[in-house]
Structure 1
Amino acid sequence: MLLLIPGPVQTRAETRAAMAQDIAPWDLGFRAVYAGIRDDVRRIAGGVEGVHATLPLQGCGHFIMEAAIRTFVPVTGKLLIAHNGSYADRAVRLATEAGRQVVTLPGPDTRPVTAEEIGAALAADPGITHVAIVHHETGSGIVNDPEVIGPVVRAAGRRLILDSVSAFGALPVNLAAHPEVDVVLFTSGKCLEGLPGIGFAVARIDSVLAAAGNAGSWSFDLSDVYQHALRAGWGSFRFTPPVQALAAFRVALDAFAQEGGQPARLARYRENCRVLYDGVKALGLTPYLEPRHQGPVIVTVHQPADPAFVLQGFVDALKARGVLISNFHNTKAPSFRVGCVGAITPEDMRGAVAAIGGALDDLGVRRREAA
């Protein structure tokens, strides 16, 4: 089965094989593995030793995002969220339920937020202390670029939380060049092609120290994760981790380096995306985004106007042909999405395009323009 979702992603056999062992997370041998993971992750993020620290947390992307909001945004602060996709919706809810004051900057889910829009929102409300952006919106596939937004936040003297859960490892991040970024967030089961189970924050140490006492939660306090590392060492995980997933992530990081790191990973994903985007257009389907706004992680496609198209039926027909995609959409207009990431190649994507065409034929979908 070819798994084409934005995460968990298709993984290499050697990555999956690393899960098939019993490990004690406190064992001295494994502590060295975990400490090495933290160093490698910091380097991929462009972090500087002694300035930035890797602060992992068990769980999914929502967990690490909630932890970042609780840790870095004090209860007296105010958070601006660029609101142009479904994962921004979730950030709004996480911040609101954490008791933080939220200001939303609404936008369409078909293009990135602009520097001008962020700048105007910050100028209009001097009370805003922090900005949160979703680097890659996996609802539609747009990219909110920190290279565009970061300088505006920095010039305004505010702080930035970068949710790069579905982009990190593919889209570049350079924390050394962005002192306005308190933290970048990602998970193990996305573009670094590990197994799911761990969220990672790479954060400025001075921001972590200043945030002590903000979280109102022991489990979701990244400043406590940092203090634990100081007390117990960088090879010690606070609370019991998904240790087999960590072992698999070590293998995935080695494969990432062998491939050529972030530039090579991005090049492969971009070619996967190009093959898919051009392929669905050739089938008569309508991509959700204009090419200039299309990110490399997923291609979202308008559902066809033909009444014979039903999303679950299409997913089932595609699965029967060996390709598994998400059976839901979270765009404003009805759509389906196909992932371009994971241990897959352009040749795999050509096979996926053929399977999409065959599944549409199986369902008798003739009118393929957007509904």
Structure 2
Amino acid sequence: MLLLIPGPVTTDARVKAAGAQDYAPWDNDFRQLYRQVCEGVLAIAQAEPEEHVALALPGCGHFAVEAAIRTFVPPGGRLLAPSTGAYAARLQKLAGDAGRVAVPLHVGATERVDPQAVAAALERDPSLTHLALVYSETGSGICHDVPELARIAHALGRRVIVDAVSAFGALPLELRALPAVDAVVLTANKCLEGLPGAAFAVARRDSLEAARGNAGSWSLDLADIYQHTLAPNAGPRFTPAAPALAALAVALELYREEGREARLARYTANMRTLYDGVIGLGLTPYLPPQLQGPIVVNVHAPDAPTWHLQLFVDALKQRGYVLSNFYNTEEPTFRVGCIGAFGADQMRQAVDAMGAALRDIGITRERAGLSRFIPQPLTA
């Protein structure tokens, strides 16, 4: 099966093999592997080891997002959270449930965050101590200019938390050049092409020291996790997702061999193949070309009476491809991930399978309905 979702992703056979073994988390060899993985994540973030640290915690990306909010924003604190889509809405909910106040900033469903609007909102409300951003919004497919927005926050004396869960390892990031960023959160199972179960926060050491006592949760206290790392021969604080971390160690070796720019180029080629391919099937991408990011492509549901998302997903799965059976947009769509251990040739075959799956449920190109805008192929 090829996973065409924006995470967990299809992984290399060597990564799977590493995750198929048993590991003792407190064994000295595993402690060394654990530290090597954290150092590898820190290097990808282009952070300064003297100023930053990579902290691992079990769970999905939402665990790391909540941990960052709880750790760096004190109880009752206020943060500006641009409403970029479904995952920004989840960030806002996590903040609210943790007793923090997430102040939304309206962003159109098919718009990027406006730097001037962010600056104006921060200037209007001095009680907003933090700006919380989603780098790649998989609910829409749009990637936002997080480095530029972080620089604006820095100029206004505010701190920044970045949800880079579906962006880390592909989109540009140089933490050493972004001193306002308290933390960037990520997971193993997206652009790093590891297995699910391990989340990370790359955070500033001085911010972690200043944040002790904020979290109100022992499990999700990044400041406490950081203190644990300072002990000699430190390993995981609690039982980690050991197979996922061991698999990530292999995935990071493969990442270093490929390089970030080459990985991003491969994902972009996947995206272009998919974008043009669905147009060829008579379907309409959710975003115009100038807004389409390389991580996930959302596609408007066919304007046909026989359309049913689950039937389409089931028909495609019979051909060896797995799609999400839900959508995160206001209008019905289906979304296709462009990340994982595969290339444009496999995406081309997947598009052919989509056409066959559509025919299985009674939808031909002529009946698919290109009704929303006339999309231009990206390769034109």
TM-score, with length taken from structure 1: 0.98
Structure-to-structure mapping, 1:120-139, within 5 angstroms: 120-139=120-139
**C-alpha offsets along residues 305-354 of structure 1, whole Å, 9 cap, x if unaligned?**
11111111111111112111000001111100001000011001100111
After TM superposition, the runs of 4+ consecutive aligned structure 1 residues lying more than 4 A away are: none
Aligned-residue identity in percent: 55
Deviation at 1:134, TM superposition (A): 0.5
Q: Which amino acid aligns with 1:267?
A: A
Q: Does 1:209 align with 2:194?
A: no
Which residue, 281, 284, 288 being the options, matches 1:283? 281
CA contact (8 A) 1:114 1:148 kept: no
Structure-to-structure mapping, 1:105-120, within 5 angstroms: 105-120=105-120
Q: Quote the Cα distance in structure 1 between the aligned partners of 2:129 and 2:162.
A: 14
Secondary structure of 1:182's counterpart equals strand
Q: Which amino acid aligns with 1:253?
A: L
Q: Quote the Cα distance in structure 1 between the aligned partners of 2:36 and 2:200.
A: 14
**Number of the residue aligned with 1:13:** 13
Further displaced range: 99-108 or 192-201 = 99-108
**Number of the residue aligned with 2:251:** 252
TM-score, with length taken from structure 2: 0.95
Deviation at 1:147, TM superposition (A): 2.2
RMSD over aligned Cα, in angstroms?
A: 1.1
CA contact (8 A) 2:139 2:329 kept: yes
**Number of the residue aligned with 1:239:** 238
**Number of the residue aligned with 2:378:** none
Structure-to-structure mapping, 1:59-208, within 5 angstroms: 59-208=59-208
Further displaced range: 334-343 or 104-113 = 104-113
What is the number of equivalent residue pairs in this alignment?
A: 369
Secondary structure of 1:79's counterpart equals strand
Structure-to-structure mapping, 1:294-305, within 5 angstroms: 294-305=292-303
**C-alpha offsets along residues 186-229 of structure 1, whole Å, 9 cap, x if unaligned?**
00111100000011000010011110000000000000000011
Q: Quote the Cα distance in structure 2 between the aligned partners of 1:128 and 1:57.
A: 27
**Number of the residue aligned with 2:271:** 273
Q: Quote the Cα distance in structure 2 between the aligned partners of 1:370 and 1:276.
A: 19
Q: Quote the Cα distance in structure 2 between the aligned partners of 1:126 and 1:219.
A: 31
Q: Quote the Cα distance in structure 2 between the aligned partners of 1:122 and 1:191.
A: 31
CA contact (8 A) 1:164 1:184 kept: yes
CA contact (8 A) 1:87 1:138 kept: yes
Deviation at 1:17, TM superposition (A): 0.5
Secondary structure of 1:18's counterpart equals helix
CA contact (8 A) 2:76 2:99 kept: no
Deviation at 1:173, TM superposition (A): 0.9
Q: Quote the Cα distance in structure 2 between the aligned partners of 1:20 and 1:104.
A: 43
Q: Which amino acid aligns with 2:245?
A: L
**C-alpha offsets along residues 46-71 of structure 1, whole Å, 9 cap, x if unaligned?**
11011000111100011000000000
> Cα gap change, 1:370/1:315 in structure 2, threshold over 3 Å: closer, same or farther?
farther
Secondary structure of 2:102's counterpart equals strand
Q: Quote the Cα distance in structure 1 between the aligned partners of 2:221 and 2:371.
A: 45
Structure 1: state its 5+ residue gaps: none
Q: Quote the Cα distance in structure 2 between the aligned partners of 1:370 and 1:118.
A: 34
Structure 2: state its 5+ residue gaps: 373-380
